[in-house]
Structures are given as structure tokens and as C-alpha cells.
Amino acid sequence: MHVVKGFATTLKHLMDDAVTVQYPEQVQKFQDRFKGRHHLRRYEDGLEKCIGCSLCAAACPADAIWVEAAENTDAERYSPGERYAKTYEINMLRCIFCGYCEDACPTEAIQLGHEHQMSFTDRRDAIYDKDMLIDPPQAGAAGTPQQVKPGAFDRSIPDMEDPD
């Protein structure tokens, strides 16, 4: 009886149109929520959003992210915070594209884009470093490192005066 049901299902779909996509000439449209290749974002002035906190690496269930932080100086400023990601690597062979790194980032520095065409011929090629991940600065913006005036990124709270 099961064999008859199986043949009936096959015959029912035999005359349906094929849904074959002629890749790479035709690329299928993905959903907006599709998670593809990672990007490290920048601010409008060209500074990097990543502050080297390693929360993305802690949230990664596949242990695919490695972040090494370093201190910013006024002579060489990479991010508006005290630290920046000196080393940022993602092993794309280990990544499961879950988006937990994106959710854990307090500055929205790491985002998963829509690029899906990634191929590797060697395991070393599958490790994306910071230079491969970071977005280029916008037109007219300076890249990193930048030189800034001392105290330009002071985040201290001003003294509250008594209104009486």
C-alpha cells in the first residue's frame, strides 16, 4: 500500500514546472533575514565601531571568532572608546551563521550581510581577518588610525549643579 502512495505522489508532481535556477547566471532572491558574510562597520567619520570587548567571541557557540584588543592613543585612534580590536578573525569553516555575534555586540560593529558566495581552496583562506571584514570608510571620511586632540572622546559626566 505504501508503494502505491509513493507512486501516486510522484505522478502528481510529474507534470509540475521545474524550479531549477541557472546559477550563476540567475541568482535566487534571499529573504531579508538571511545571514551571510560578516562585516565590521564604521562610524560616519571613519572610526571603527568595534571596541575590542570580545562579547561576540563569548557569544559564538562554534568558537569561530578571535578578538585581541589594544589601547587607543590620541596619536593613533581606531575607535571612539578606550580600546579597539587589534586582531579580529572569524574562521568561516566553523561559523554556523547564527547571528549571536551580531546580537551580543554593544556597538553594532559586527553585522551579517547577504553575501553567500564564499569558497575556499585552503583552510587558511577560510580565516577572515580584520582587513577582509572591515568596511571601507565612506567618501570623504578618514580611515584608521586617526590623530585626534587629547580629550576629544572624554565620556565623563558633567557635574550637576544644585538648582537652588
pLDDT tens track of the chain, all 164 residues? Answer: 889 999 998 888 888 888 888 888 988 888 989 999 999 999 999 999 999 999 999 999 999 999 999 999 888 999 988 999 999 999 999 999 999 999 999 999 999 999 888 889 999 999 999 999 999 998 888 888 887 666 565 544 445 455 54
105-126 b/e (C-beta count within 10 Å ≥ 16 → b): bebebbbbeeeeeeeeeeeeeb
Q: 3-state DSSP helix/strand/coil percent for the chain, to nearest 5?
A: 20, 20, 65
3-state secondary structure of 13: helix
Cβ atoms within 10 Å of 160's Cβ, excluding its own: 6
Cβ atoms within 10 Å of 42's Cβ, excluding its own: 21
Radius of gyration of the chain (CA): 24
Q: What is the pTM of this model?
A: 0.75
Over residues 144-157, the pLDDT tens digits come to 888 766 656 554 44
Over residues 95-122, the pLDDT tens digits come to 999 999 999 999 999 999 998 888 899 9
